Amino acid sequence: MPGFLLPNSPITSLADYRSRGGGRGLERALEIGPAAVVAEMRLSGLRGRGGGGFPTGVKWAGLAEDSATERYVVANGAEGEPGTFKDRWLMRSNPYQLIEGLLIAAFATGAVGAYIALKRSFIDEAEAVKRAISEMSSDGLLGELPVGVVEGPDDYLFGEEKALLEVIEGNDPLPRLYPPYVQGLFETPNESHPAAVNNVETLSNVPHIIREGAEWFRSFGTNESPGTMVFTISGDVQREAVVELEMGTSLSFLIYGVGEGLSAGRRVKAVISGVSNAPLPSRFLDLPMSFEAMKAAGSGLGAGGFIVYDDTACMVRVGAVLSRFLNR
């Protein structure tokens, strides 16, 4: 299985990260310039890995072209979707690639500040991120860019990008009317300060893309969903896991190849890829895990977290549980 986001063992020092090619993406970004970085990201076709699937290069281009004097970039690490653990695992196993991706994003868009927002209950993740920022700052990689870590509540809404900006400003996690590229951070009566919010996995891809090139990235996955994705498999499977797979890999491989199938005599009744997506009945097990295939099936890829229910599950009860989750 190809992969470049999840190391075989956690990277716990900047020296270890550099020995594996870390920092070269930022070096190349500084060599080619902001416009070329944005162009490379657009060519790569990287789409947001937090659930929306919006093209990253398009988002960055919009921020870079904004006339505001203050712009910001933000990493969304407030993972809260049921059945998803990938961003937490990425921050634990290699926080350096996240920060490098954030630095490249700031350089490409002309941002004056950067933030990483995560839940205060993510103790191990916050410790890893803060350690990595300290090391990279001491090594001069941050330059003059201030990078802040904001720890917020466990609320599900904290993961919504507009609510996340509210928390960074010291407020409750309640969504705004306007998106981040219109109303960003610390706006004044005379000027909005637009922001680009990308999730942890999205930004973790960036150093690899800039270092290796867009065509290399597009050699993985499908035409509309290039690259790999970090998936979480849980529920009624023999083995719950976090795994990096090529986009377009079949759902059945995730369940049977990674999750090692169900208990003896049990069969799949449904699979859920997020509380806002329609459940997939067993006839969709051969469905490719890509943005386009999941949409065509009437569901969605979400953040890559798949919960499997076997034939003993009552889907009415499952629906009630998920509804209560959304209502709390």
Is 7 inside a domain boundary?
no
235 and 210 assigned to the same domain: no
**Domain match, 72 and 188 both:** yes
* Domain assignment of residue 256, yes or no: yes
**Per-residue buried b or exposed e for 293-309, using 16+ beta carbons within 10 Å of the residue's own CB:** bbeebebbbbbbbbbbb
Query: Could you say which of 185, 218, 251 is where a domain stops?
Result: 218
Residue 141 DSSP code: T
Residue at a domain's end among 218, 246, 262 = 218
Is residue 318 in a domain?
yes
Mean pLDDT (10-residue bins), the chain, 328 residues: 87 97 98 98 97 95 95 96 94 98 98 97 98 98 97 92 96 91 90 95 98 98 98 98 98 98 96 92 97 96 96 92 79
Q: Are residues 209 and 268 in the same domain?
A: no
Pair (103, 187) in one structural domain: yes
* Amino acid of residue 95: P
Q: Which domain holds residue 195?
A: 14-218
| Cα–Cα distance for residue pair 252/121, rounded to 1 Å | 33
CATH code: domain of residue 146: 3.40.50.11540
Is-contact 214 205, C-beta < 8 A?
no
The pTM of the full predicted model, rounded to 2 decimals, is 0.96
| Strands 241-246 vs 228-235: parallel, antiparallel or unpaired | antiparallel
Shared domain for 185 and 277, answered yes or no, is no
**Pair (212, 234) in one structural domain:** no
**Structural tokens at position 21:** 């090619």
* Domain contains 9: no
Is residue 29 domain-shared with residue 129, that is, in the same domain?
yes
Same domain, 167 and 248: no
CA distance 38 to 58: 8
| 46 within domain boundaries | yes
In a domain, 73, yes or no: yes
- 35 and 149 share one domain: yes
Same domain (yes/no): 80, 189:
yes
Q: How far is residue 171's CA from residue 325's CA, in Å, rounded to a whole number?
A: 22
CATH no. for residue 248? 3.10.20.600
Look at residues 322, 50, 20 and name the one whose alpha carbon lies nearest to residue 200: 50
pLDDT at 1: 56
Q: How many domains does the chain have?
A: 2
Say whether both 143 and 254 belong to one domain.
no
**What pLDDT is recorded for position 29?**
98
- Is 5 among the domain residues? no
Q: Nearest CA to 254 among 205, 304, 312?
A: 304
Domain boundary among 198, 218, 238: 218
In a domain, 251, yes or no: yes
Asked if residue 244 and residue 178 are part of one domain, the reply reads no
